[in-house]
């Protein structure tokens, strides 16, 4: 695993997508995340690193998990964190995206975390304002902090990313989590296998540089890491698969499927999980699942991102 001296390699102003980061920057972020993990274990879970800094969580689509994770991360760094959701702001009154960004920027926050249903929204925001922009998930495009917390989880459990076999199963077509992880894992030279019904895989899946299969048993064979993606019920209405029942028949991670993996495999899921659909309860609650570690690491990684972007001083 990388050394501590590499941790400050990430000096970017914004965090938009994993494809923008070098392998060293990714390693630096992972290490900073691992070091921040300890803060959350303390009785007094607060360091003064970002005292006097303001972070706005600007959420154009509903999210409990990511918003809460960013909020806790900011507060543990002593930043002032303000949450704005689309339903509670002028967005619903017809204000354009550009005007919303300009107005919030005019209040001079140090960083804006943006969650949006439109791919590219965070990138566009970063072109509108001088304020730091952190992408909290934009449509099916990117979710860099999720990928970073996933990598941090892998880094803690596995020795090396080089030639690590990582399998991602589920709705690749609509998944920002998959795209961000694929980009990051490629930078770190992991071997990637993607598994989905053809209707949930983009036609040009060759761009991912991954092995592609529709057979979950083949997909997880020899895997060191298996990432399951959440399947959304609304995709049935779009004619992409017939029923949750049939989806589960071919793509659910069950103890039977698990027989194909390596013994020390870790099972990941960005949450929230659909028990019995993409993952069986036995697997989700089993000793190979690291799903709740991911949630814990989410706070640490977002502390690392906010800390490096907002230029705090870690004077504990």
Partner 1 sequence: MSSSILIKNGHVIDPASGLDEKTDLLITNGKVASIGDNQEGNGAKVIDASGLIVSPGFVDLHVHFREPGYEYKETIKSGAMSAVAGGFSSVCCMANTSPVNDNGTVTSEIVKKGLEAKAARVYPIGAVSKNLDGKELAEIGEMKEAGAVAISDDGKCVLNPKMIRSAMEYASMFGLTVIEHCEDESAKDGVINEGEVSARFGIKGIPPTAEDSIASRNIVISAYTGLPTHLAHISTKGTVDAVRLAKAKGLKVTCEVTPHHFTITEDELESFDTNFKMNPPLRTKEDLKAIKEGLKDGTIDCIATDHAPHASWEKEVELDKAPFGIVGLETALPLSLKLVEEGVISLTQMIALLTCRPSAIFNLPGGSLKKGSPADICIFDSQKKWIVEPEKFLSKGRNSPFNGKTLKGKNIVTIVDGNIVYNPANL
What is the contact surface with partner 1 in residues (CB under 8 A)? Answer: 96-98, 116, 118-121, 123-124, 139-142, 174-176, 179, 202-205, 207-208
Shortest separation between residue 203's beta carbon and partner 1, angstroms: 6
H/E run at residue 73: helix 65-76
- Closer residue to partner 1 in complex, CB, 20/282: 20
- Closer residue to partner 1 in complex, CB, 17/297: 17
State the virtual CA torsion across 268, 271, 276, 277 in degrees, nearest 10: -100
Across the chain, where does the E strand assignment appear?
54-59, 80-85, 111-116, 132-138, 165-169, 191-195, 211-213, 225-228, 266-268
CA distance 101 to 136: 15
Whole-number Cα distances in Å, 34 to 40, 62, 138, 192, 283: 11, 28, 25, 24, 26
CA distance 150 to 294: 6
Shortest separation between residue 34's beta carbon and partner 1, angstroms: 29
Shortest separation between residue 234's beta carbon and partner 1, angstroms: 13
Shortest separation between residue 136's beta carbon and partner 1, angstroms: 15
CA distance 8 to 31: 9
- Closer residue to partner 1 in complex, CB, 68/85: 85
- Closer residue to partner 1 in complex, CB, 44/207: 207
Q: Which residues of 271-294 are buried (b: 16+ CB within 10 A; e: fewer)?
A: bebbeebbbbeebbeeebbbbebb
- Closer residue to partner 1 in complex, CB, 119/276: 119
Beta bridge partners of 80: 54
- Closer residue to partner 1 in complex, CB, 120/222: 120
- Closer residue to partner 1 in complex, CB, 140/147: 140
Shortest separation between residue 7's beta carbon and partner 1, angstroms: 29
Half-sphere exposure in the Cβ direction for 28 (13 Å, CA):
17
CA distance 238 to 155: 37
Shortest separation between residue 60's beta carbon and partner 1, angstroms: 9
Shortest separation between residue 188's beta carbon and partner 1, angstroms: 18
């Amino acid at each position: 695993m990388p050394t501590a001296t590499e941790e400050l390699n990430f000096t970017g102003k914004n965090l938009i997508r994993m494809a923008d980061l070098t392998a060293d920057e990714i390693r630096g972020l992972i290490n900073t995340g691992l070091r921040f993990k300890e803060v959350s274990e303390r009785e007094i879970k607060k360091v003064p690193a970002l005292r006097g800094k303001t972070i706005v969580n600007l959420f154009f689509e509903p999210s409990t998990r990511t918003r809460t994770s960013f909020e806790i991360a900011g507060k543990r760094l002593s930043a002032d964190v303000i949450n704005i959701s689309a339903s509670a702001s002028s967005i619903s009154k017809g204000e354009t995206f550009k005007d919303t960004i300009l107005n919030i920027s005019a209040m001079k926050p140090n960083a804006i975390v943006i969650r949006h249903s439109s791919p590219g929204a965070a990138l566009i925001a970063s072109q509108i304002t001088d304020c730091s922009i952190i992408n909290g998930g934009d449509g099916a495009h990117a979710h860099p902090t999720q990928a970073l917390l996933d990598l941090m989880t892998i880094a803690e459990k596995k020795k090396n990313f080089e030639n690590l076999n990582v399998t991602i199963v589920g709705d690749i077509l609509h998944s920002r989590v998959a795209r961000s992880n694929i980009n990051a894992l490629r930078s770190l030279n992991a071997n990637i296998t993607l598994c989905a019904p053809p209707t949930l895989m983009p036609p040009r899946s060759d761009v991912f540089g991954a092995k592609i299969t529709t057979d979950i048993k083949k997909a997880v064979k020899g895997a060191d890491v298996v990432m399951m993606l959440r399947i959304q019920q609304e995709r049935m209405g779009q004619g992409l698969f017939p029923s949750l029942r049939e989806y589960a028949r071919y793509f659910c991670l069950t103890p039977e499927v698990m027989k194909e993996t390596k013994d020390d495999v870790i099972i990941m899921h960005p949450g929230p999980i659909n028990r019995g659909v993409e993952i069986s309860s036995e697997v989700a609650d089993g000793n190979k699942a690291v799903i709740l570690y991911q949630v814990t690491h989410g706070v640490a990684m977002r502390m690392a991102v906010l800390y490096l972007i907002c230029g705090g001083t870690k004077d504990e």
